[in-house]
Structure 1
């Protein structure tokens, strides 16, 4: 069929340039492009396509749902498949979370979580309407909508809209051992220091004004898989409990099996009051996210007898719910979370073995199939490359070229919200050991060839000369 309308009518991030690859179809963890490339998707898109691109079981489930019921208004009717998905999610927490709200995107889920937290305090028997402030963390990314940008700290995406963003959030340090742990400091002392910092922030804002502390359980795209140390989240929750505030964990990117357990908080000896999930929930077969609500909060909402003033057209969408439910069933039936743990450990070992000695690789960190490689000019000072070099974009572009053909999730800002280059490696849960080996070799060639090229450039080679 002939295409209709002018070419490049779809607006991406840039008004002039567009993604270079036109994808024809996906098979397993590979994407076939119109110009003949077979790209190994080492990022699952954006940590989304956890089952790869052609799972027949999920395709059949969506087709059946499309035939039976494509849409019904969530305020007027129930779709059984949405009820079933919500039940699956609640059951997956062993009842610690007792309600699920089905949304469309991760940003939407974060918005809902914020509104839900505010509603909780407004509906108490002794209402606390002054609790409107949220404490988040430096280097966080919680989504692109205005409310989510309030919590986030990805400066390049936030700065253009500062005049529109509500000033209802402040930040404390993230738990990031690479840049946060002091020389000679134990992890236990580090946790105590971060807990005190959070406590001090409560005191600064006014404990009665803080609604919740919000954090990614494992850092996402902006922080490059910053992984919490043992005891960190229990300590943070204890501070929240001390002042009667809530703990909201954002697992849009790191949840639903990505880090080796279905919920990332299962590895942290803590249960959130509110949790967001997305991306791997539907594996890209449907646009869906969810907010899970702790049973204690649900009991409080019930006791108030009041409603949650929220609603969206595509909440609990039947097609998306059908896709997500079958995705989660397949993950469970094929024991893929165990494969995430096994292959994730192998991926981490291979990345470290192959790349740790590289002069410009500062850190390799992650958990499960969720890893990041961060680059620095100097390993000792951990100085980042100048943003003008566009290092992370160069690596992504090289990876997409013929002869490399590997997708890397590139990002910046790990140093101060602007500077700092890294990329994520987060392949689908179905990845094999041989494919992990292939990923590591392709990643290594991208890194080595990018820096070899930069050394030859002038005057930018000044950043590299003499560092070896």
Structure 2
């Protein structure tokens, strides 16, 4: 879900055709000669994520590019951590945020409402078939709030015994203790393991590359995963499980691993059978990045979606979205990152009518609150980004830019399949829209991962950066497995995609010389 900074790690010996390379930010790099161009964090008063690195200083950004104080132009090939959705430096969004700051920078959401929050919530619910929205400051806050909302829903209905939550292995849902408990990103849990809750459990991930048998059809694979979820619910007690959480397209923990068609619908049916809330975490993969407004909308036949939301069928007559998408629409959904495009901190929790009715029929309140909930600058940025994406088709939300994202995603995927897939040690290219991942393996046939000490993803990302593009990188558990992620802005041009793929190819070839 969220990004790690590039870790400083020792160079690995040459094995499996791997060329030794210094990881990004390594302290073994020569000391900078110009303090204006790089920043040695060992001399910093900021507690940086990594205390042993030398960081380039970015001074400004425009469109798809970052510019450093040394004059280097870097293609932002990952949008930070899939945050930059409409590009850097969009005047309309800057103006909207500036206007909000000058008019009303802050007011407590416990005492007052503000119009930008009301309008953004209205549009998001209209285009999702959801009932209400909660606005927060970051993805971890959103996931924490979703966990508490799921718990409160059951308490309001007299089912206090529902205290158990199910997520998936190799998942990541945030850095706060509740979100860490929910996820299964073992390296990120390591230091805090004694503090994490025992009320959180996991089932297998949906990863066809790693876990689907060669003889198994997609339908059989989905059925097996659905059976596993049902068995987990039964083993915990069908009246004790509160919610099931999943990322439709797994981001940081696995590198843009998409669901198998039919998976989300099947998981939701199991949840409904036992009164378990079906919750989707789209902090990283949502807000249009996969080519549809929400990633879960990709698990539907095109005719199930109205034209305005990226489908090819007849437009729904119901403005509230009823009658489409019921098979995969979640009870609770989290959003963040691309929702605000990086212009201000913002995340959201979308809440279904069913869950809202549970609260309304009980205490009539959501017992959760943060100081910067419905922050004026955050929701102003989110609303401006939403408006920017729909400005070429004012009647229907998120049509033009999301469709462009889908088209550019198809173009990026085609180049990756043609130019990157054949390269040595590239095991898998996968993803949806402008959310594409590349997994590296020691052996293509067996899919065996590299040893953790080889730091392959670090080295590939470093080499790509040396060729002028920044990409997100990680590992399946941050212990084993290596991947990079390509998540450029939705406004990226085909020429910029060409440039990005060129840098990726050169970087991979540099690390794995033939």
Q: TM-score, normalised by structure 1?
A: 0.92
> Aligned residue for 1:28?
63
Matched, 1:85 2:148: no
Q: Is the 8 A contact 1:123 1:306 kept in 2?
A: no
**Alignment equivalent of 2:357, drawn from 283, 299, 303:** 299
Matched, 1:429 2:429: no
> Aligned residue for 1:378?
443
> Is the alpha carbon distance of 1:16 and 1:358 closer, same or farther for their aligned partners in structure 2, counting shifts above 3 Å?
closer
> Aligned residue for 1:369?
434
Q: Take 1:23 and 1:407, find their aligned partners in 2: how far apart are those partners?
A: 12
Gaps of 5+ in 2: 1-34, 37-41, 301-327, 393-399
**Alignment equivalent of 1:290, drawn from 348, 358, 367:** 348
Q: Take 1:422 and 1:299, find their aligned partners in 2: how far apart are those partners?
A: 42
> Aligned residue for 1:408?
471
CA deviation vs aligned residue, 1:333-374 (integer Å, no higher than 9, x gap): 241101100000110010010011112000000100000000
> Aligned residue for 1:61?
96
CA deviation vs aligned residue, 1:407-465 (integer Å, no higher than 9, x gap): 010001x2x6620000000100001111111111111001110123xxxxxxxxxxxxx
1:277-356 alignment to 2 at 5 Å? 277-334=335-392, 335-356=400-421
Q: Take 1:389 and 1:35, find their aligned partners in 2: how far apart are those partners?
A: 30
**Alignment equivalent of 2:136, drawn from 80, 95, 103:** 103
Q: Is the 8 A contact 1:139 1:417 kept in 2?
A: no
Q: Which 10-residue stretch deviates more, 103-112 or 226-235?
A: 226-235
Q: Is the 8 A contact 2:464 2:508 kept in 1?
A: no
> Aligned residue for 1:14?
50
> Aligned residue for 2:267?
236
Q: Take 1:52 and 1:7, find their aligned partners in 2: how far apart are those partners?
A: 32
Q: Take 1:170 and 1:300, find their aligned partners in 2: how far apart are those partners?
A: 25
Secondary structure of 2:194's partner?
coil
CA deviation vs aligned residue, 1:167-197 (integer Å, no higher than 9, x gap): 1111111111100110111001001100011
> Aligned residue for 1:462?
none
- By how many angstroms is 1:7 displaced? 4.5
CA deviation vs aligned residue, 1:298-337 (integer Å, no higher than 9, x gap): 1222122432211110000001110110001101124110
Q: Take 1:341 and 1:181, find their aligned partners in 2: how far apart are those partners?
A: 26
CA deviation vs aligned residue, 1:93-122 (integer Å, no higher than 9, x gap): 1xx211000000000000000000000000
Q: Is the 8 A contact 1:153 1:417 kept in 2?
A: no
Q: Is the 8 A contact 1:256 1:281 kept in 2?
A: yes
> Aligned residue for 1:199?
230
Matched, 1:148 2:179: yes
Secondary structure of 1:86's partner?
helix
Q: Take 1:35 and 1:180, find their aligned partners in 2: how far apart are those partners?
A: 45
Q: Take 1:357 and 1:267, find their aligned partners in 2: how far apart are those partners?
A: 27
Secondary structure of 2:429's partner?
strand
Matched, 1:274 2:335: no
Secondary structure of 1:304's partner?
coil
> Aligned residue for 1:121?
154
Q: Take 2:465 and 2:188, find their aligned partners in 1: how far apart are those partners?
A: 24
Q: Give the count of matched residue pairs.
A: 442
Q: Take 1:399 and 1:440, find their aligned partners in 2: how far apart are those partners?
A: 10
- By how many angstroms is 1:135 displaced? 0.6
- By how many angstroms is 1:400 displaced? 2.5
**Alignment equivalent of 2:288, drawn from 257, 264, 276:** 257
Matched, 1:448 2:509: yes
- By how many angstroms is 1:223 displaced? 1.3
Gaps of 5+ in 1: 453-467
**Alignment equivalent of 1:73, drawn from 108, 111, 125:** 108
